Structure 1
Amino acid sequence: MTRLHLDTNRCEAHGLCEQAAPDLVHLDDDDTLIIDVPGDLDADHLDAARDAVRACPVTALSLVE
C-alpha cells in the first residue's frame, strides 16, 4: 500500500498541498502541516495525494510504498 510522507524539515507551510488535497492534509493554527490520513491510502485518496505531492514547491511531501 501507499502512504503520504511529510519531511517536516523541508515543509515551509505554503499551503499549496492543502489546497490540492484538503481531505488529506491541513495546516494547523501554528502553520504545521498535519496529515489527516496517516496510514495507507485507498484508491479514492491516491489521486489527491499525488496532486498534493506535485503542488509542494519544496518537495516536502512524497508517496512511499
Structure 2
Amino acid sequence: MRVEVDQSLCSGHGQCAVAAPDLFRLDEDGYVLPYDGEVPEGREPHARAGSRACPERALKILATDPGAAAG
C-alpha cells in the first residue's frame, strides 16, 4: 500500500498526523509532507484513518501492485 499526497489540496488542518502521527509528518506551517515509500506492514489501518481524517481529501490510498516489481 502507498499513500499519495496532493499538497495542492492540503490546507494544513493536520488531522492526518493526529490520526497517524507515526506515518504523517507536517512541515513547520502544519502542511502534510509527501509520503515516501510503502506503508509498513500492519500500519495500513492507520494510513487509512489518516486519509479519512483529511477534510480536504488530500491523501489517497493506493494499492501496491505485487506484479509491478517483478517486471
In structure 2, the residue matched to 1:43 is 41
Give TM-score scaled by structure 2 length.
0.78
Distance in 2 (CA, whole Å) between partners of 1:47 and 1:22 is 13
After the TM superposition, which residues 1-40 of structure 1 pair with which residues of structure 2 at under 5 Å, given as runs? Answer: 2-35=1-34, 38-40=36-38
Gaps of 5+ in 1: none
| Higher Rg | 2
The size of the alignment, in residue pairs, is: 63
In structure 1, the residue matched to 2:62 is 64
Distance in 2 (CA, whole Å) between partners of 1:26 and 1:52 is 11
**Structure with higher helix content:** 1
Distance in 2 (CA, whole Å) between partners of 1:31 and 1:41 is 21
Identity of aligned residues (%): 37
Distance in 2 (CA, whole Å) between partners of 1:45 and 1:38 is 14
**Structure with higher strand content:** 1
Gaps of 5+ in 2: 64-71
Task: Compute the displacement of 1:27 (Å).
Answer: 1.2
Give TM-score scaled by structure 1 length.
0.84
> Which aligned segments of 4 or more residues in structure 1 are displaced greater than 6 angstroms?
none
